Chain A
């Protein structure tokens, strides 16, 4: 602690900032808010709600498969469930949850008062919610997407899936893409331009690097999915021929476009998860990460090489072996930056002295699960083995090890690590450990036997299977494991709900963490920080003792910025202050725009073109309202 006496200036600054940044309670502010913390929480809660739905779908499917020839679900229902399970977990759970933590913690960790584009942030959330509702409304009419999250043509063409199911899919994903793209741009600009003074590139927390790598991947990968979906919409609705082999199109074009997006999508979900691991480990082993530079380069390298491996999802479609050899090489190579990160975590764990609290337990579980998924991933880089096991249950096992490993376990670790910052109260530690062990054991019991099922020849995406093939016992184990996993998840959700109201007050920095989110109060004030800190170290909370008081004094470089609704703009590489920026006020227009867009997508779905035109005009009006100039303030 520096010897600055607790003076009046802090209270005075806080009061002025609260007057500027505070939001009145009520419906108006609830709809209009552009506060990244409220929006981040919404992302998280919405993601968890969809996680619960996706999980229930999984349990229904596992129950159906507990034994051969069960008749709990009819095939159509099963096919809708496995399709929506994939869509939900990727687009409505993992991405929003990781964006949620990003929204909440990126500005806090880089010492900013908000995201670069707070209204765009609000719009991203409302659009996610609207698109989620859009996709799930398909269940109300009994026509949920039923051709898998991968939605291969020609099965998904109008000819073979004439129902409205696939229209929900293509339009829903285009709609969601708007949300993700806006969010990605916001993350990138925030991380490039809003870092606290002194936060040079090599002082950016690894979690923030992870969100940046994710956002860059979204920018360059998502257009492939949006394009694939638009072309399919045109094929289905107006008889275009992109995917129709008989008219010169090619169904493999869908697979190329889908996987140009789809493989990076795995990293979109994994990289922030890696970032969470790198945020949790130093705090709980009480030493800085070893190999910071290598980890950052590793994350960026994964993001880059991840664009060169999409064809390994197409090893059985009959492309030339020379193509396959190149893609195999890239697929083996993409394992190297991940291996570097794993060994950096291991080195840090071994060099430090781990405190085995719940957040770290989840990270350790993540490492083990992810490594198992990683080595089976390397197996799939080996073309002959891939050709033997692709589309079998071996893949189901692998992808769950990778995705549950790198997304779910870090997210749950983050709930325990950062939850106290968000709610101001500690989660129950004992319930946390119970939850972890149930999840870890349940997960492995559920998914490990699926490797064996794949080797035993069981294809994936089957609603039932024949008796007498030796598949029953593994399937039963898998089902039991799934229920254990579900129970473990439930324990944490209950723990969160209970602790948020009744938990022990956390204090501002319960774990004595190393990064700037612990510089704010718990939960953070509307303005995040009393003073925007000047950063002089990679672990500022460990190395800059003057930050411990929650308000770096001006003598040490803390900027109060009380002259308005302001944040700092700093230089891209070395974080020199360049300007103060008037941040936009809360606004209902992002919410209204997402509603008009929702009307637009429903109109396309039902092919009511007049309504679609009206909705476009209404959207243009909403954009006009949003961007109506108001003095110096930027409008996004």
Chain B
């Protein structure tokens, strides 16, 4: 039995999703089947589909800060401030040197580098017009660093490069640092600005893994026989994370407890996932949480709507949860696309309100289930009333074979 000093809880939530700029909006969209995927113009490539966020950047930043910083930084600043505001923390009284910022990110610097190359192309590739802002914009700690600048946080900050497993990784690192006593409050989650560079889209297209559809809202189709790839999205999901003892002491609202997590590596392929290692990762997280598969109410799947990726995850989930008749599986990417570094965070947070409303949102755009992706309790197209939801398991996997699993429990 863990002590309250070792138990880690989520106490504030900030959201920038293509279909919601706070948790209530996001949840409402997920239950209503509202997509955030739209037609989107890219430089060089022309029109693609993307999940685009529409939050107010200037709520917490000056125009100058937006100009000097990055989109990832603005997303992070917005979500971090929203989380702190939601947490009820008296920010003026918080010891800023005891706050850590840990944000997962899939990639960083592509957007800013592409922009600068485009800019110098207008000057005959004269590198003398290359911006002095390039380096502070592209350092890998940029988004977490912008949060510390904006909020006056003097504790440690890191972005955690973990491909598309990064959202979970931010929370995992936060839990570890809190347990080690390195910080007393963590601002953690994941962010993505990836839609602002053509390269992400072009590379998925070259790989045959970029979704197309005449109706943008139907483009992201995990587990469907007609799925044809990924819809790239931007976004952020950031939480205040604390030790239970601290949260209790200040009478905080507690959204959930992080009861288990795991990360591992496939050690197999640059892009193709491996169901065996994914299943191992899920089992390790369950073991650490001291629960069995049948204790999990909802599995928030990672599935991105690629041919092989969906098959591998479904195989892993069947292997672990095949004996659990009560565990349901859903998918949030089908609504918003793949928010890359933010995906794991947004997908966990989109499910979290089920602790209160007892409903599992669906995976949408599933008209014809690929039999290779068959899962016994997939929540198809319409939300499902579950009643009592206590435990959610959140999968997030990424390139180079990086796997992450986070398990949260309703706080009782």
Does A associate with B in a complex?
no
Chain A residues with a Cβ under 8 A of chain B: none
Chain B residues with a Cβ under 8 A of chain A: none
